[in-house]
Each structure stands twice: as C-alpha cells, then as structure tokens.
Amino acid sequence: MTAYEKLRARMHEVALLGGSSSVLSWDQETHMPPKGTPVRAQQLGYLAGLAHRLATASEVGDWIQSCEEEDGSNPERTPNIREWRRDYDRSTRVPAALVEELTCAESFAREAWVQAKGVTQFSTFEPHLDKLVRLCRRKADHLGFADSPYDALMDLYEPGLTVRTAAPLLADLQESLVALLPELQAKTSRLPGDALQGVYPIPAQQAFNHEVAAAMGFDFAAGRIDTTAHPFCSGIGPGDCRLTTRYDERDFTSSLFGVMHEAGHGLYEQGLPAEAYGTPLGEAVSLGIHESQSRLWENHVGRSREFWRHWYSRAGDAFPHLRKIAPDDFWLLINRIEPSFIRVEADELTYHLHIILRFEIEKALIEGTLEARDVPTAWNERFKALFGMTVPDDAKGCLQDVHWSSGLFGYFPTYTLGSLNAAQIFAAAQRQIPTLAGDLAEGRCASLLQWLRKHVHVHGRRYLPAELIRLATVEPPKAKYLIDHLKTKFGSAAE
C-alpha cells in the first residue's frame, strides 16, 4: 500500500470509531436508562482514546510527510493531505499532559459552573475560569499563532479565522445592528409577545415538523427526528443523520424552528459526498459553515413571508388555534425583535450583540488584558452599552452559557459567522435562482437545496471556509448581507 492508501485506511477506522461514538452519544441523550451512565462514559472514553491514538500515531505523521514529499497535485489527494496535516498538527502539538490537565480542569469547572449559576454567585466559578484561561493560553502557545493567542483557539472551530479578519467584520456588524435596533424593535413589537400561545398537541407538532423537514429535502430513509433536552444534529455516517428537538405544548414554533435549524445541519451532512467518507473531502468544513446551513433554513426560509404563503394554511389545519391569528400578525410574531438578557432566547438581530459581547470578553481573557475576576463588571458594563439594559444578576449575565466552563474559547464567533455566511449565501442563491421566491411560496425547496448541494455541501473540506464563501458567493465574507436582509425584511428606512 502507498502512504496515501495507508492514511485512507487508517482514517476510515477513525471515522468508524467516530460514528460509533456518535450512536452511543445519541443513544445517551435519547434512550439510555439512567443507570447506564457509568458504563457509557467508559465506552465513550475508550472509543475516543482509541480514535485519538490511531489518528496521532507517529506512523501517521510519517505517511503524511511521504505524501507531502511526492510530486504533483491531484483534486482528491491534495486537499485531503492538506487537511490531514492540519488535523495531525492540531492533535499532536498540544502535549498529552496539558490535554489531561485541561480535561480534568474542565470537569471540575463544569461542576462549579452549574453550582455558581444555580446560586448566581460568580465567585464559585471564578478560580475555575481563571485556571481554564491560563491552560487555554498555554494550549494556544503550543498550537501556534501569528498575532493573537485567541487566533489559535478560533482556528480550532473555524480554520483560518483570525482576530485580524473577525474584529472588523464584527465591528461593522455591531454598528449597523445598534443603529437598526430601535426601528426594527418598534416595527415588530406592536403585538403582545405571548399572542401565539395556545394549545399545540405534541403529536400534531411532530407530524407538522416531519412534513416541513421532508419538504426541505431531509431524507427520512437516511435520518430521523427524536426528542432531547437540548436539540442537536448528529451525523453518524453516510445514510444516517439524526436530528433532535424539544416541544413546548403552548407554542409550536419553538420545536418547528428547532427542527428547521437542525434539518439545515442535517441537509449539509446528507449532502456530503458519501464516496469520500473517512476523508476530509467527506467532512463538514467548519462550525461557521455548518451554522450557515442551519440558520439559512431557519431564518431565511423559515421566517420568510414566502415560506408561510404555502405553509400557513397547512399549519392552521394542524393547529386550529392558529386560525385566530392573521398571517401578517403571525409573521410579525415569529420575527419579533426585542433585546433580552439570554443569548439562546434572542432574536435574529440582537443575537449578534450577545456574541460580540462574548467575543470581546473571551478575546481579552485569552490575550491577558482582562482578569477572570473582572468578567462580571466588564460583562455588565458592555451589556448596558450594547443593549441599554442593566443585567440583574450573573445567572442572566456572564454565567448563562456552558461554553467557558467546557474550555470553549473562540467558539462563540462561529455562531455569528454562521449568520453572516447564511445571509451572504442566501443572497447569492436569490441572484442565481430567479424562481426562488416563487418556489418557496409554493412549498418547493428543491431549487434551493440543489444550489446549496452544488455550491457548499459537495465540497466537504476542499476549501477553507472563507474561500468556500468566496467561491459560492463571488465575494469574501461581509457583514453587509445580514444587514441588508434585516433591512429588506422589515422595510427599513435606514441608510
């Protein structure tokens, strides 16, 4: 076997182990009896360790090097080798002792965070946050970076993303969003926030969600939808991708938008080239691109007037309560813009102010210009400036998210990047598919899905995320399209 064939075979094993772990994790969230936890933890730990050892063995480094030294480029081998190199370096540069120390610190930190959040007492979490920041800074040093240690961490989730590119993008975005907020809030909040609330039986929600996901193009012969406490999408391998959602019996849009979001992720997974399974060309490229697919379907399709032109009467059949609400009012209610304290409950506009806040704070923590103990003050001041509201306590402030307690610094920006990408991609699709608005208004999503398959899904990790966006939309990533989308949607007069 050539070095390349050996690499392919090894990485196929790693993919099989990863897919097996995905089934075990999915099962843990959906069906596992509670006393199964200890053995499940052992199984998952063992499979993860095995996959890590297989992927980081020294012979893997040798095979990659042999491939790199060979002549000539090849449309399959070249991107695979480039990405295997990236993965290998990322996994081997951080010493095992530091990985272990981090894993251990995260485990204590998560416990402390749960407790701190429960009693809204930041001081319980503070020493853990401090420790994790220091360890992540050391991790960044090992990973390497040009300008900021925060770059090395963002790169783990969004290959190629740096402060140099992200900061101006987010600054642009912030300025426009803050300017738009008062007008859009006024336009979208004329109805009481609870006007949608009614009786929406779960079986009717499940049937409706299934119908919408199928209309989007989600292949139920290669996937399913289950119920979990926190919605997610798990790609187990070609032919098996699972979505989850949760139900609010008083508001069907909660589970519906959850399903549309996760089905957006699922369509990406189902659109990856099956023949490249086990190689980078068969994998999703980044969190920011993955999130672009989920947000495109959730926000640009699911919250559009066109989409509901077709689906409103179907929804009325499924949920008689809805017939009391005029379509225009319904559309306003699912697009309500209003500042709030909690990120995961935020609307399409203010969501990004939450992310900008986190970006600034975690960047400062990792760069050493902010100390852990000063996070609540910094958070609350910045929140007041961005939202014009006073944070009542840390549980509704800097303690609300699980990410930092899990050692995830550099992850938050991918959410906003997902929305920026979604807007830019959707604008390109609108330009290139003249029938798109009409298609959606008649319940047809095939033209959009086909376009996404061709311009995004099929490439796997062939291009870095920013390059993929440039190829798909003919421009580098910009804040403009999300702003335009919001302005157009609500007929803003702002310039």
Amino acid letter for position 254: S
Amino acid letter for position 437: A
Provide the minimum distance between the beta carbon of 61 and a copy of itself in the complex, in angstroms, as a whole number.
22
Return the number of the residue (12 or 431) whose C-beta is nearest a copy of itself. Answer: 12
> Beta 240-245 vs 233-237: how paired, if at all?
antiparallel
Instruction: Give the residue from 275, 253, 182, 262 showing the smallest Cα distance to 225.
Output: 262
* Edge-to-edge order in the sheet of strand 223-227: 223-227, 240-245, 233-237
Q: Is residue 363 within 8 Å of residue 342, measured between CB atoms? A: no
Return the number of the residue (27 or 147) whose C-beta is nearest a copy of itself. Answer: 27
Amino acid letter for position 465: P
Q: Which of 6, 24, 215, 484 binds a copy of itself (CB under 8 A)?
A: 24
Name residues contacting a copy of itself, limited to 140-179 (CB under 8 A). Answer: none
Binding mask 372-391 for a copy of itself (x = CB under 8 A): --------------------
Longest dimension (CA), the chain: 69
Alpha-carbon distance values, 63 to 6, 66, 352 (Å): 7, 5, 43
Q: Which of 62, 186, 194, 220 binds a copy of itself (CB under 8 A)?
A: 220
Provide the minimum distance between the beta carbon of 28 and a copy of itself in the complex, in angstroms, as a whole number.
9
Binding mask 31-50 for a copy of itself (x = CB under 8 A): xxxxxxxxxx-xx--xx--x
Q: Which of 83, 106, 126, 262 is catalytic?
A: 262
Alpha-carbon distance values, 244 to 27, 207, 225, 258, 362 (Å): 12, 14, 5, 8, 30
Number of shown-chain residues binding a copy of itself (CB under 8 A): 36
Return the number of the residue (24 or 94) whose C-beta is nearest a copy of itself. Answer: 24
Binding mask 225-254 for a copy of itself (x = CB under 8 A): -x---------xxxxx--------------
Provide the minimum distance between the beta carbon of 247 and a copy of itself in the complex, in angstroms, as a whole number.
19
Instruction: Give the residue from 41, 155, 136, 144 showing the smallest Cα distance to 98.
Output: 136
Reply yes or no on whether 13 is catalytic. Answer: no
Interface with a copy of itself includes 13 (CB under 8 A)? yes
Cα 429 to its chain centre, rounded Å, is 21
Return the number of the residue (6 or 85) whose C-beta is nearest a copy of itself. Answer: 6
Write b or e for each residue in 422-436: b if 16 or more Cβ atoms lie within 10 A of its Cβ, otherwise e: bbbbbbbbeeebeeb
Name residues contacting a copy of itself, limited to 48-77 (CB under 8 A). Answer: 50
Interface with a copy of itself includes 277 (CB under 8 A)? yes
CA distance 241 to 23: 10
The residues binding a copy of itself (CB under 8 A) are 13, 16-17, 19-20, 23-24, 27, 31-40, 42-43, 46-47, 50, 219-224, 226, 236-240, 277
Which residues participate in catalysis according to the annotation?
262
